[in-house]
Structure 1
Amino acid sequence: MVRTRPLKVALLGCGVVGSQVARLMTTHADDLAARIGAPVELAGVAVRRLGKDREGVPPELVTTDAAGLVARGDIDVVLELIGGIEPARTLINSAFEHGASVVTANKALLAQEGPALHAAAEKHAADLYFEASVAGAIPLLRPLRESLAGDKVNRVLGIVNGTTNFILDRMESTGAGYGEALQEASALGYAEADPTADVEGFDAAAKAAILAGIAFHSRVGLDDVHREGITEITAADVAGARQMGCTVKLLAICERAEDGRSVTARVHPAMIPLSHPLAGVREAYNAVFVEAEAAGRLMFYGPGAGGVPTASAVLGDLVAACRNKRGGGLGPGESAYARLPVSPMGEVVTRYHISLDVADKPGVLAQCAMVFADHGVSIDTVRQTGKDGEAKLVVVTHRASDAALGATVEALRRLDTVHGVASTMRVEGE
């Protein structure tokens, strides 16, 4: 190989993912150089605190001055792995201003500030790569951005958060309640000390915004995504799904409207049939279905988090950014030409599984059925069990607007014969 100037890389963050990136850059240095056509040199590693032994990272490269590192002027690519909005946003913009391309795994920042970051990259003729921001090691964004660039994507449906999938899988396989399953996830390192971002759906919602924006060539922000978490899911909900031949998953669903004039993006728990491929995604794995007009149904599956898997995606982007630096080209930027509006959740057409605690006496079923009819919601199946004056009524609806279904549930709550709405859950995948 002809000797050429090394490409200099600045690493921001040396935690679970960053430390693995640094290690792999060292152990795979020869292969990376061969694939890029030039050596890659780790020029600096920015951390919050000094004094910690970081295996494989020369101490002289470690600094707490992240701003100074990205502003050096000789950095070719900045790897942003610190997360959060600030200082990540400022550091990325500084990297662009000083001539560097950026690789990031920062889903929260991309979901909130994606258009501004893409505009800054374009202004300074730099690359912005972010494969690691969604689904860890799974090659997903690049196929959407590049391989399917000539196709029309109509739907993206998937499991994009490993923590919640592990919890729901444990509830399914062991009969555990939510709290018990969360404790196990924490003990095994699948859940953070504060699991709110995962279990309340914020993490998945950020990923859904990114996926929808790419898939539909339109700007979709975090505020556009309907979000519900799994904290209210009970062992009874999981058992009820099993009786229907279903399982419960936290799904990210991005869809193009049937008339093609708008899109929706949502994250919420849903029942899916055991026959659906996503039903078999266990533990902390991720899987995403992409439905395209010409390509048909594609499924992407693999580890969605963890230091080594995520580092794999980061290094893939690093290779692409370095090749572009060496060759003088640029990768794909933002594609938002379609400008499709995002419809509210109420306009989504879906199905509901509704569990009601009702009085066990004649006429209750007819009274409830009238409420469904008054709101234009058709009933698919009904199951009723009763004992000692109390009964459980389980209704599964046909497809209707989410607004109509929500109004139906609220009307049912007001009936004297309905003692409580035990649970409501959407049904998908049929």
Structure 2
Amino acid sequence: MSSGKPAVRLALLGCGTVGSEVVRLLHDQAEDLTARIGAPLELVGIAVRRPGRQRGDLPVDPSLFTTDALGLVKRDDVDVVIEVVGGIEPARTWLTEALGAGKSVVTANKALLAEDGATLHDAATQGDADLYYEASVAGAIPLLRPLRESLHGDRVTRVTGIVNGTTNFILSSMDATGAGFGEALEEATDLGYAEADPTADVEGFDAAAKAAILASLAFHTRVTAADVFREGMTGVTAADVASAKEMGCTIKLLCIAERGPDSTGQESVSVRVHPAMIPRSHPLASVGDAFNAVFVEAEAAGQLMFYGRGAGGTPTASAVLGDIVAAARNRLAGTRAPSESAYAHLPIRPIGEAVTRYHISLDVADRQGVLATVAGVFAKHEVSIATVRQSGRDEDATLVIVTHGAPDANLAATVEDLRSLDIVRSIASVLRVEGGV
């Protein structure tokens, strides 16, 4: 199908798992894409580290490969730069060069956006260029554009999400089988869900980067990964999962971004990533395997749920391709996407001021007055106890306490004081509780 219009010319930076799928989709859907855009898409260059590497049956002319990414970006015949390499540098240099020169950019680089998205947005403004990054959070799930555009007339108050497929698979497996963290991680690795070095996933770095991007869009405020409180899930045990089940809960690694007053009453933003118990009736509780889901709450729209595959070459490439189509249409129409909305400039609320609840499991001496002593520590820090459950006797006595909502600083101080009691042999676990258990 010929549109009669000149092609929109693309430069691809990176041709790994995602980049290869982008190339395949561009080839396989060429006719439909031309019809949707109103002009054909032409891939004019692909920057890679090893141009001679075998890439199977990838439908691309080998002469398009180059090791000179910056040179490719600077070419006059490039309209849209697609970056799927990742990392901070040299990606930041490539993309700021492209944006400053007025070229549209499509990126999946969550680490760069979370650490220094401001530089990219400023370059886009300077060059009057498009910056799209739907693929940076939750793979193929259409999430960022609704936050950026569809909900622009509303006031988003909270975003709660499962945004890392690896940790969700691990926790889902622990919940289903009773396995410990190590066993579930080994299974995730064998199935290809976990990297050889899973640190970024299990320690929450990946989710924290995505949380920063979500909070920036939802609350019209620049939020970086450094602003996000982060706690990994390596400390979650089979006993924690079993205790959650007894409460009618499951454990998920959540990213939580909230807008609300700080301790002085000033409007502010709280962003955190940590494992938490949620009731099995919560929409996020049924999200299993390596799927992602994000629960958005807004004043007028109410509660919205976005669900789907959050990772993998093909789902991520789908999101990249959607951004390419949008950028190409804008170039043909002589328009650009909505620019960054960071007018609110809300301060970041520290984790100590976040109101949450704790589930605390204590190994205690089984003697008279223990419960009263423990309750006194909670009262000292103005933390109200919701439920107490005791199991075992003598050396096996355990207290499981769930609190009402309180500032995290008060709850943390309570736990520290409990550690100093001679009647508390050990604190077996501390988990936050979300979702109105």
TM-score, normalised on structure 1?
A: 0.99
Report what 2:26 is aligned to.
Answer: 25
Report what 1:140 is aligned to.
Answer: 143
Report what 1:189 is aligned to.
Answer: 192
CA contact (8 A) 1:361 1:389 kept: no
- Work out the percentage of aligned pairs sharing the same amino acid: 68
In the alignment, the residues of structure 2 paired with residue 375 and residue 25 of structure 1 have an alpha-carbon distance, to the nearest angstrom, of: 59
1:364 aligns with 2:367: no
Report what 1:116 is aligned to.
Answer: 119
Shift of 1:257: 1.1
Report what 1:300 is aligned to.
Answer: 306
In the alignment, the residues of structure 1 paired with residue 104 and residue 21 of structure 2 have an alpha-carbon distance, to the nearest angstrom, of: 20
- Give the aligned residue type for 1:325: R
Which whole-Å deviations, capped at 9, do the CAs of 1:261-301 have from their partners, x for residues lacking one?
A: 10100000000001111000000000000000000000000
Which whole-Å deviations, capped at 9, do the CAs of 1:227-279 have from their partners, x for residues lacking one?
A: 01111111111111011100000000000115671010000000000111100
Shift of 1:386: 2.3
SS in 2 for 1:262: strand
SS in 2 for 1:99: coil
CA contact (8 A) 2:227 2:271 kept: yes
- Greater mean alpha carbon deviation, residues 259-268 or residues 333-342: 259-268
1:384 aligns with 2:390: yes
In the alignment, the residues of structure 2 paired with residue 48 and residue 429 of structure 1 have an alpha-carbon distance, to the nearest angstrom, of: 46
Report what 1:163 is aligned to.
Answer: 166
Alignment of 1:385-424 (within 5 A): 385-424=391-430
In the alignment, the residues of structure 2 paired with residue 201 and residue 389 of structure 1 have an alpha-carbon distance, to the nearest angstrom, of: 35
In the alignment, the residues of structure 1 paired with residue 315 and residue 399 of structure 2 have an alpha-carbon distance, to the nearest angstrom, of: 45
In the alignment, the residues of structure 2 paired with residue 268 and residue 386 of structure 1 have an alpha-carbon distance, to the nearest angstrom, of: 29
Shift of 1:332: 1.2
Report what 1:320 is aligned to.
Answer: 326
SS in 2 for 1:257: strand
Match of 1:338 among 322, 344, 357: 344
- Give the aligned residue type for 2:59: G
What is the RMSD computed on CA atoms of the aligned residues? 0.9
1:428 aligns with 2:431: no
Shift of 1:202: 0.3
Alignment of 1:251-290 (within 5 A): 251-258=254-261, 261-290=267-296
SS in 1 for 2:392: strand
Which whole-Å deviations, capped at 9, do the CAs of 1:132-167 have from their partners, x for residues lacking one?
A: 000000000000000000000000001000000000
CA contact (8 A) 1:72 1:98 kept: no
- Greater mean alpha carbon deviation, residues 90-99 or residues 361-370: 90-99
CA contact (8 A) 1:137 1:305 kept: yes
Shift of 1:2: 4.1
In the alignment, the residues of structure 1 paired with residue 95 and residue 148 of structure 2 have an alpha-carbon distance, to the nearest angstrom, of: 21
In the alignment, the residues of structure 2 paired with residue 389 and residue 9 of structure 1 have an alpha-carbon distance, to the nearest angstrom, of: 68
Report what 2:73 is aligned to.
Answer: 70
SS in 1 for 2:267: coil
Which whole-Å deviations, capped at 9, do the CAs of 1:44-73 have from their partners, x for residues lacking one?
A: 111111222222121111111111111112
In the alignment, the residues of structure 1 paired with residue 285 and residue 3 of structure 2 have an alpha-carbon distance, to the nearest angstrom, of: 51
Alignment gaps of 5+ in structure 1: none
SS in 2 for 1:233: coil
Report what 2:252 is aligned to.
Answer: 249
In the alignment, the residues of structure 2 paired with residue 71 and residue 277 of structure 1 have an alpha-carbon distance, to the nearest angstrom, of: 47
Report what 1:220 is aligned to.
Answer: 223
CA contact (8 A) 2:137 2:163 kept: yes
Alignment gaps of 5+ in structure 2: none
Which whole-Å deviations, capped at 9, do the CAs of 1:281-325 have from their partners, x for residues lacking one?
A: 000000000000000000000000000000110000000000111
CA contact (8 A) 2:3 2:35 kept: no
CA contact (8 A) 2:81 2:106 kept: yes
Which whole-Å deviations, capped at 9, do the CAs of 1:69-118 have from their partners, x for residues lacking one?
A: 11112100000000000110011012123331100000000011111110
SS in 1 for 2:397: strand
Report what 1:47 is aligned to.
Answer: 48
In the alignment, the residues of structure 2 paired with residue 368 and residue 388 of structure 1 have an alpha-carbon distance, to the nearest angstrom, of: 17
SS in 1 for 2:160: strand
CA contact (8 A) 1:49 1:64 kept: yes
Shift of 1:388: 3.3
Match of 1:131 among 130, 134, 139: 134
CA contact (8 A) 2:96 2:119 kept: no
CA contact (8 A) 1:73 1:99 kept: no
